[in-house]
């Protein structure tokens, strides 16, 4: 999914960079409120986990981008949409700066696809499915699986949109093929991602349900009294 330098032209990259910056600013403002003593280490671990799983890369030859697990749904589930988007964005920034994974000039595009689109789609699905499905372990597993699978496909279509707007090589009528290839490959990747997300979320929900952000709103309002020390802002 990482777009490298030179695949999308400059103006489109700049527009998406501005878009990503505005959205991330909103996430920072909202995320600050969420980030307490329990969420801060969790956000770090989620980011580390995503960083590790994104190392598994599958090249997609017809698209010039590589496919891999994204982690947006896991982040949205465990730390919420705002901090979750920030986690994925941090992973992308560090990868671009020191690993050369995804071009620095394309960072806005990559953040839009994976951190913003992926996490937003995942959280919308999670919020919907948790209300519709029964509140059982199976319901939670299905929610995590579906949200993860579809969020990966949505993120991959973000790339297709960007390529349509500003791809440096005109693929002509192949754009539909590009969209199909991306959707197909990422559906497969999404199933893998869905399994990993569901397993992880289920384990965490079983042992430490207080750590699952998405389940917070569903519980009784009597929140456990955890002292919040200063500094975790």
Enumerate binding residues for other proteins (CB under 8 A).
Answer: 4-7, 10, 13, 28, 31-32, 35, 37, 40-45, 47-49, 51-52, 55, 57, 59, 61-64, 66, 83, 86-87, 89-91, 93-94, 96-101, 103-105, 168-174, 195-196, 199-200, 202-204, 207-208, 211, 229-233
Instruction: Using DSSP, state whether 32 is helix, strand or coil.
Output: helix
**Cβ closest to other proteins, residue 56 vs residue 128:** 56
**Cβ closest to other proteins, residue 157 vs residue 181:** 181
**Cβ closest to other proteins, residue 59 vs residue 184:** 59
Q: Quote the least distance from Cβ 101 to other proteins, whole Å.
A: 6
Q: Quote the least distance from Cβ 199 to other proteins, whole Å.
A: 5
**Cβ closest to other proteins, residue 36 vs residue 131:** 36
Instruction: Using DSSP, state whether 67 is helix, strand or coil.
Output: strand
Q: Quote the least distance from Cβ 172 to other proteins, whole Å.
A: 6
Torsion of CA 193, 56, 40, 97, to 10 degrees: -130
**Cβ closest to other proteins, residue 189 vs residue 211:** 211
CA distance 142 to 136: 10
CA distance 188 to 149: 8
Strands (DSSP E) found in 53-163: 57-60, 65-68
Task: Name the nearest CA neighbour of 84 among 59, 53, 50.
Answer: 50
Q: Quote the least distance from Cβ 53 to other proteins, whole Å.
A: 8
Q: Quote the least distance from Cβ 221 to other proteins, whole Å.
A: 25
Strands (DSSP E) found in the chain: 57-60, 65-68
Spatial contact of 150 and 190, defined as CB atoms under 8 Å apart:
yes
Spatial contact of 115 and 89, defined as CB atoms under 8 Å apart:
yes
Spatial contact of 87 and 50, defined as CB atoms under 8 Å apart:
yes
Q: Quote the least distance from Cβ 215 to other proteins, whole Å.
A: 15
**Cβ closest to other proteins, residue 9 vs residue 128:** 9
Task: Name the nearest CA neighbour of 54 among 22, 99, 9.
Answer: 99
């Amino acid at each position: 999914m990482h777009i490298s330098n030179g695949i999308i032209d400059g103006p489109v990259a700049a527009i998406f960079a501005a878009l990503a910056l505005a959205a991330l600013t909103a996430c920072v403002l909202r995320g600050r409120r969420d980030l307490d003593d329990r969420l801060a280490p969790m956000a770090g671990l989620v980011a580390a986990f995503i960083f590790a799983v994104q190392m598994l890369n599958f090249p997609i030859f017809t698209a010039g981008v590589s496919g891999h697990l994204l982690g947006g749904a896991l982040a949205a589930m465990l730390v919420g949409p705002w901090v979750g988007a920030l986690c994925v964005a941090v992973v992308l920034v560090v990868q671009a700066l020191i690993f050369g994974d995804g071009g620095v000039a394309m960072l806005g595009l990559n953040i839009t696809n994976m951190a913003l689109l992926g996490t937003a789609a995942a959280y919308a699905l999670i919020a919907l499915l948790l209300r519709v499905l029964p509140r059982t372990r199976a319901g939670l597993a299905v929610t995590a699986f579906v949200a993860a699978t579809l969020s990966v496909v949505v993120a991959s279509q973000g790339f297709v949109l960007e390529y349509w707007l500003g791809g440096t090589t005109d693929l002509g009528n192949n754009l539909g093929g590009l969209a199909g290839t991306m959707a197909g490959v990422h559906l497969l990747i999404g199933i893998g991602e869905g399994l990993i997300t569901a397993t992880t979320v289920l384990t965490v929900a079983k042992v430490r349900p207080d750590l699952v952000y998405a389940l917070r709103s569903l519980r009784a309002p009597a929140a456990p009294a955890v002292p919040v020390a200063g500094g975790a802002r």
